[in-house]
Amino acid sequence: MGVTVATAPRTRLETHTVENQPQPFAGRNLYLADLALREAVRREAGDWLDERAIALGALAGSEEVLALGEAANRNKPELISFDRYGRRLDEVRFHPSYHTLMALAMEHRIHDLPWALDTPGRHLGHAALLAIFTQAEAGTMCPIDMSYAAVPTLRAQQDLTAPWLDKLIGGRYDAPLRPIADKQGVTLGMAMTEKQGGSDVRANTTRAQSLGGPAYSLVGHKWFCSAPMSDGFFTLAHASGGLTCFLVPRVNPTGERNAIHLMRLKDKLGNTSNASAEIEYHGAYALRIGEEGQGVKVIIDMVQHTRLGTVAGTVGLMRRALAEAMNHVAGRRAFQKTLIDHALMAAVMADLALEYEAAVVLAMRVARFLGETAPEARALARLAISLAKYLLTKRCPNFVYECLECHGGVGYVEETPMPRLFRESPLNAIWEGSGNVIALDVLRTLSREPAVLEAYAADVALAKGGDTRLDHAAVELMMHARKPVDEAQARSICERMTLLLQGSLLVRHAPRAVADAFCARHFGAGVGLTYGTLPATADAAAIISRQLNS
């Protein structure tokens, strides 16, 4: 993409001179400027991803792409139910910036890279690239992540889904609605929850009537259908044999629009560029994926992979917020000093940087777990993804808020990206399983697969001897976790397990100043509730330097 260099704004005005302002954020490589992410990617994936990440980092950090992200969120999607003659369309129309961003994301293979490779750490190719692109625009990553996550479920029934796999893996963005045989690429979405049940999908009332063979007709509704302009959706409905997974194409085999009615678009808090709809099936054509009654079992791999996307997206939001805050406090003066040179501001920024370091090291390790093939490693991947999703996504809103506050009043103004980041920040904790759902998933995993706890303990123990506070916390936690855990303690055990895994990873891989401060904050005494309350022993300058000098 070409880069247009604009003439600088006027600073000498009639009543005053505009000065003491930080440099514009745009025009940086979002990957090369992120030392923590670069280190984690190289450690977990090797060198194969570096070139791709550098290219995407330059693109996503360009003035042009950052402007596209702003435009896609200023101009909301529009539901078009009928054409001028009263014929049903059931389409969502997007601002051109949205289509450009989708095309760029698929051009850089965020949607399919792991499935085109047989390389250790291949799922980092999705997680790291998604985190980078999220910094420019988060909403488009919803259909991108769902398309990536759809592959395991498509592969469960390749005799029916081979045309979809062929168009998804290696495909390019092709927005117009038409049969997939005529398209350069496809995207996939999900439509699972209903009004009466929400996360309890077994309470769904949508019905599936067999048309013979794998074909069915669906009647019912879905309360949330994200990215309703996808080419097809995985959905759950009750067939005669029980709750079953189906693939519902937007265009049926006769080339007509399928009977999927878009009832309305959700007016969401954030994630504005991405449409989410309430839909109804009016005898919609669908293909059964897997056996009747096995719907949850069939779809669970897709859910697991979309949860990795929520973790990676959270890392991207945190990084953009932190980078904006660092840019501001390093470029503005108050009370005879640059803001970052004030001890209290340095304490806040060090605390934020520390939390980001811990988020990155965990997210990239979780992505590496996902690519392992041994049964024990796969079980550990399920556990680790749930732990990361639980804590990182819950910490994100307060993290982004603190970065916003570092800007002062201007951070509360819509001309900055901070309000958009703040509105986006709660989303990943809600989608793909809210906090209680994830915490209960962790308890089920621990009770059904006892070996996974020992695998977790063995991974944490790799840092044994590196920090006595971490060692003591590990012993205490394992004594508790090996006993039956009451449901009311599910959140507590998730939080402690996640922090322990983060601490172990930092002790093994991060600079001593980072690991020591993390262990002091979370496993020492006198921990503060707000940012800027690190123990006095923390080396704030060393922690901050990794953000300023990368």
Is there a single domain that holds both residue 140 and residue 272?
no
Please check whether residue 17 lies inside any domain of the structure.
no
Is there a single domain that holds both residue 542 and residue 412?
yes
- So what's the pLDDT on residue 379? 85
| Each residue's pLDDT tens digit, 230-255 | 999 999 999 999 999 999 999 999 99
- Which of the residues in the chain have pLDDT under 50? 3
Is there a single domain that holds both residue 403 and residue 369?
yes
Is there a single domain that holds both residue 87 and residue 212?
no
Is there a single domain that holds both residue 335 and residue 199?
no
| Each residue's pLDDT tens digit, 343-372 | 999 999 999 999 999 999 999 999 999 978
Contact 125, 109 (CB under 8 A): yes
What one-character DSSP code corresponds to residue 527?
-
Instruction: Give the residue from 294, 324, 358 where a domain finishes.
Output: 294
- So what's the pLDDT on residue 245? 97
Short-list 451, 475, 453, 452, CA closest to 463:
475
Please say whether the dihedral angle defined by the alpha carbons of residues 432, 435, 437 and 442, taken in this order, is positive or negative: positive
CATH assignment at residue 310: 1.20.140.10
Is there a single domain that holds both residue 106 and residue 187?
no
Q: Is 347 helix (H, G, I), strand (E, B) or coil?
A: helix
How many C-beta atoms lie closer than 10 Å to residue 533's C-beta? 14
- So what's the pLDDT on residue 3? 46
Q: How far is CA 345 from the centre of its chain?
A: 29
Give the pairing of strands 232-239 and 188-191: parallel
Q: How far is CA 264 from the centre of its chain?
A: 25
Contact 160, 287 (CB under 8 A): yes
Instruction: Give the residue from 255, 274, 294 where a domain finishes.
Output: 294
Is there a single domain that holds both residue 196 and residue 140?
no
Domain count, the chain: 3
Which domain does 94 fall in, by range? Answer: 35-148
Give the whole-angstrom CA distance, residue 295 versus residue 317. 33
